[in-house]
Structure 1
Amino acid sequence: MKIYKILNNNAVVVKEHDEEKIVMGSGIAFQKKKNDIINRQKVEKIFVMNEGNEKFQELLKTLPEEHIQIAEDIITYAEGYLQVPLSNHIHISLTDHLSFAIERHQQGFQINNKLLTEIKALYKKEFEIGKWAVQYVAEKLKVQLPVDEAGHIALHIHTAKLGSGDIASTLQQTTIISEMIEIIHQELGMDLDEESISYQRLLTHLRFALTRIESNEPFQVMDPDMLEIIQTKYAKAYTIAVKVADYLEKEYDIQLPSSEMGYISLHIQRLIT
């Protein structure tokens, strides 16, 4: 395996069968030059980025090497923690994001995450990885990122799971859920216990509802008699559910079936009781 291009001390490009691959390992390119043979014992990762290859090569050449290594360590930890492979694009998105976050924090900019509460509840495993990552950055760089950054990292990890969609759609879905929760909060006129099972079940249900709509999956149909009982017995909760549905239709052109409003009403009622 010969070096085709050196990106930094820890990353090189090789060519095998006319295919470019990025090979990474600690000190793999130290005192090396083009066409030198790679010490295979130092190889830690080999992958082909396809259309993202050039972007990743640029990051490897321009970002601080310690930022790149930390991002790779986080990705490795995440794959082990989740026991699933992550898409190759995470090497671009997380590395770029993390380096930018570290630099902005060092420059005195405040990192905020308005969706932190929803992220903690919706993506629990990914958020645990995010917290580990924040602590890891503190250990390696003596830079103490806020817990808000753990939420940002969690979203990048979640969207890197196969079939989870891109970061933009995940952010939009989480934002919509946050807005739905805010309507419920305002209409109830009471503080919501974000750690309660009822609250987290509501968040999970709203997430699945939006996912069904996005994927054009059918909703579970509620018995008409049951829906009528809910409308009568839990009138306040149902009224709030209708307001949430009206908001979705007005702001996002998302239509919830009447059965779904019944199920949301039940979750709201559990918050009340």
Structure 2
Amino acid sequence: MKIKKILNNNAVIVQEGTIEKIVIGPGVAFQKKKNDIISKNNVEKVFVMEDNDDYEKFQEILCTLPIEHIKIAEEVISYAEGALMTPLNDHIHVALTDHLSFAFERLKQGFVIKNKLLQEIKALYPEEFEVGLWAKKTINERLNIEIPDDEVGYIALHIHTAKMNRKSLKPSLDVTSFVNDVIGLIESEFNISIHGKSIAYQRLLTHLRFAFQRIQEKEPFHDIDEEMLEVIKKKHKKAFNTAEKIGNLIKEVYQFDLPISEQAYIALHIQRLSEK
């Protein structure tokens, strides 16, 4: 592999045929210069990025961020791809590395990291959260930095976004915020604290997650038998009233009219939760 550009002692850009690659390895560029050949024995990781914006941003990251931050981010990404058994979007190399480095600096300066969506992230993305917990342990071992579970939640969001082959966190944040708003409204109406590990809570979360996907993608909702609808309205009046308020919230925030059939299904979930 012939060096095209040296980024630092541990990272270079190489040219192989018509393809440019970013190569990382300890001391891979030590005492090297442009057009020198590097041995594959010194290479830890090779990156080929199709997105030119990501390619340029990753070069900037390699030139500016501490190498230990870059290496720990890459370790987390590699572990996530193995644990989730799926490749992640290339943008994760930019987004997660930059996020982690910034978080480490904030923690060193004494800032407290808070994540108001933590409970919903844990419930909606349990596999990604487990990856985040592995990252927490590994970061502490490698860098002696103790990250809070709130930060683990942010790592899980980045992992989930890349798993869904997206670059932007917005869709993941939108559904998580939506669920958080709905849960908060139910807790307020019934004066209860919803247990995050209960089966009723998990079922409601699953239902809300798919409901929000239908809202985002403008897909039709399932119908409900008229007789069953009337039974739910009468038998579970408070739960149905709360579901109606959720419908009003969705209309206000997302400009979407939630069908009465969907409000009825949500009311059933609310009723189960309130009984617990």
Q: CA deviation at 1:225?
A: 1.7
SS in 2 for 1:4: strand
> Are the aligned partners of 1:155 and 1:170 in contact in 2 as well (CA < 8 Å)?
yes
> Aligned residue pairs: how many?
273
More displaced stretch, 224-233 vs 182-191: 224-233
The Cα of 1:39 is off from its aligned counterpart by 1.3
How high is the TM-score relative to the length of structure 2? 0.94
Aligned residue number for residue 264 of structure 2: 262
1:232 aligns with 2:234: yes
Structure 2 counterpart of 1:196: 198
Which of residues 186, 209, 212 is equivalent to 1:210? 212
Instruction: Name the stretch that deviates more: 31-40 or 129-138.
Output: 31-40
Structure 2 SS opposite 1:38? coil
| Alpha carbons 1:21, 1:47 under 8 Å: kept | yes
For the 8 Å contact 1:8–1:65, the answer to whether it is kept is: no
1:221-249 Cα distance to aligned partner (Å, 9 max, x none): 22222212111111111110001111111
Alignment match, 2:2: 2
Q: Distance in 2 between matches of 1:26 and 1:221?
A: 60
Letter in 2 for 1:122: L
The answer for unaligned runs of 5 or more in structure 1 is: none
Equivalent position of 1:272 in the other structure: 274
Deviation at 1:165, TM superposition (A): 6.7
User: Does the 8 Å CA contact 2:86/2:163 hold for their aligned counterparts?
Assistant: yes
More displaced stretch, 81-90 vs 251-260: 251-260
Query: Structure 1 residue 61: deviation in Å?
Result: 0.4
Partner of 2:39: 39
Q: Deviations over 1:107-138 (max 9, x none)?
A: 11111101000000000000011111111111
Runs of at least 5 residues in structure 2 that lack an aligned partner in the other structure? none
Measure the CA separation in 1 of the matches of 2:197 and 2:89.
31
Contact 2:88–2:165 (CA under 8 A) maintained in structure 1: no
Distance of aligned partners of 1:163 and 1:66 in 2 relative to their CA distance in 1, 3 Å threshold: closer
Report SS of the residue matched to 1:34: coil
CA RMSD, Structure 1 to Structure 2 (Å): 1.4
Pairwise CA distance, 1:48: 2.2
Contact 1:82 1:125 (C-alpha < 8 Å) held by counterparts: yes
* Matching residue within 78, 83, 101 for 1:76: 78
2:163 is matched with which residue?
A: 161
